[in-house]
């Protein structure tokens, strides 16, 4: 394999990219668009939950409880009612996600030392959000009950009592539990998969359709030189997109970066190289651009989005699907990025993930070269 011939293929492919400004503009604009969508418009944070209150007690104790909900950043009291029909109408119209019903004997049972009953009505059409909302409400009610009992005992014995157990919750690495702090690093993997696999999956198929592939194969070029040369042209676009995503994530959205910059760069190079080779392999297998695009979408973007842990936790997936995720390179890349961005972990702890990405890139390169050699034969 000669470097001069490889660079000549890369130059030819890069000139072809420059002659198609719409595709180039799309490739450079995709990172910004996706980052804006996931960083601003689409969020997985569950806060400011619209809460409707049915207070049949109207006592200082019930108002104190309502103030707890209203003062929390997780809830927002949107209105009051004294009719169940109104609660049903508000939830059906999605103006309220949760309803708190306080019975008329709430304060009486509370002051008598009993266990007053409360009712929470939640819209379960979105089960994930409903579960999180009930969890927040349960924690708030448990703390309210503890405070009430502690105050009652303090008044009974004439001095302030401290609770027997004081739990202090500390959240590491993402203390504010902001979804963008783990979505943005994972989004880098999705962006690279889109740019790499989908764009390169068309390169050789386009040559076959245009009738120029036969001329290229008639030259002294070796299959490895063709594969690497075509990869290098798109590698520059991938580097530009990666740099844009990291800069926007860190400096615009404030995602913490606690790890090693060279380690992040090495991980991006390995993952990008493997993704580019995968797109070229698809292009070598399918001589139609339409077929290559469809295969590229199914085998690269969708697994990176759905089976990598980017949005859906792998631990919650069925066991057969969890086994499939071990074959998705984006899973290992996202683990590296989240470990370096949020945790600042040592590279030694991520050695296995780096090794998989390197092995994946080498394997796909060999497969693409072999497939192209078969085309030559």
Cβ–Cβ < 8 Å for 230, 5 = no
Residues of the chain with pLDDT under 50: none
In the chain the first and final C-alpha atoms are separated, in Å, by: 18
User: Pick from 127, 191, 189: which is nearest to 341 by CA?
Assistant: 189
Q: What is the pLDDT of residue 167?
A: 66
Q: What is the pLDDT of residue 300?
A: 82
Q: Which residues are registered as beta bridge partners of 50? A: 76
User: Pick from 306, 274, 313, 112: which is nearest to 196 by CA?
Assistant: 274
Going edge to edge, which strands form the sheet with 75-80? 75-80, 49-55, 98-102, 119-122
Count Cβ neighbours within 10 Å for each residue of 229-240 and write b for 16 or more, e otherwise. bbbbbbbebbee
Q: What is the pLDDT of residue 271?
A: 92
Structure tokens at 247: 């800069």
Span 79-123, pLDDT tens digits: 898 888 888 888 888 888 899 998 888 888 877 777 788 889 998
- Which position has the token pair 């004439």? 158
DSSP element (H, E) containing 38: none
Q: Which residues are registered as beta bridge partners of 100? A: 53, 120
Count Cβ neighbours within 10 Å for each residue of 43-77 and write b for 16 or more, e otherwise. eeebeebbbbbbbebebebbbebbeebeebebbeb
Cβ–Cβ < 8 Å for 296, 282 = yes
Sketch out the chain's domains with CATH numbers. Answer: 3-42+178-376 (no CATH), 49-157 (3.40.1710.10)
Span 282-336, pLDDT tens digits: 887 877 777 877 888 888 878 888 888 887 788 888 888 989 999 999 999 999 9
Q: What is the pLDDT of residue 7?
A: 78
Cα 271 to chain centroid, rounded: 17
Going by their DSSP bridges, the two strands 75-80 and 119-122 should be labelled as unpaired
**Residue by residue, what is the 3-state secondary structure of 223-281?**
HHHHHHHHHHHHHHHHHHHHHHHHHHHHHHCCCCCCCCHHHHHHHHHHHHHHHHHHHHH
Write phi, then psi, for 274 (nearest 5 degrees): -65, -40
């Amino acid at each position: 394999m000669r470097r001069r011939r490889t660079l000549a293929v890369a130059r030819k492919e890069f000139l072809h990219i420059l002659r198609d400004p719409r595709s180039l503009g799309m490739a450079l604009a995709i990172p910004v668009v996706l980052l804006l969508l996931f960083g601003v418009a689409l969020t997985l944070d569950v806060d400011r939950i619209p809460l409707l209150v049915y207070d049949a007690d109207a006592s200082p104790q019930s108002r104190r409880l309502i103030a707890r909900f209203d003062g929390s950043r997780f809830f927002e009291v949107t209105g009051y009612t004294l009719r169940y029909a109104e609660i049903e109408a508000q939830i059906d119209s999605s103006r309220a996600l949760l309803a708190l019903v306080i019975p008329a004997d709430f304060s009486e049972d509370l002051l008598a030392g009993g266990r007053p009953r409360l009712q929470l009505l939640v819209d379960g059409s979105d089960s994930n959000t409903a579960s999180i909302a009930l969890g927040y409400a349960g924690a708030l009610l448990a703390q309210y009950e503890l405070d009430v009992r502690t105050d009652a005992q303090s008044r009974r014995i004439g001095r302030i009592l401290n609770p027997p157990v004081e739990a202090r919750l500390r959240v590491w690495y993402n203390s504010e539990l902001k979804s963008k702090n783990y979505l943005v690093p994972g989004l880098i993997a999705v962006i690279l998969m889109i740019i790499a696999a989908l764009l390169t999956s068309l390169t050789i198929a386009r040559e076959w359709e245009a009738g120029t592939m036969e001329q290229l194969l008639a030259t002294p070029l070796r299959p490895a030189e063709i594969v690497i040369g075509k990869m290098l042209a798109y590698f520059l676009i991938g580097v530009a997109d990666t740099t844009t995503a990291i800069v926007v994530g860190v400096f615009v959205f404030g995602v913490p970066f606690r790890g090693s910059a060279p380690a992040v760069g090495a991980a991006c190079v390995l993952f990008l190289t493997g993704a580019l080779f995968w797109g070229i392999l698809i292009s070598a297998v399918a001589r139609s651009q339409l077929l290559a695009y469809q295969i590229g979408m199914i085998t690269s973007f969708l697994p990176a989005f759905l089976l990598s842990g980017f949005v859906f936790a792998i631990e919650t997936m069925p066991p057969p699907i969890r086994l499939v995720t071990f074959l998705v390179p984006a899973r290992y890349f996202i683990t590296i990025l989240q470990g370096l961005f949020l945790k600042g972990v040592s590279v030694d702890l991520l050695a296995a993930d780096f090794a998989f990405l390197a092995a994946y890139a080498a394997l796909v390169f060999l497969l693409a070269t072999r497939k192209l050699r078969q085309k030559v034969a």
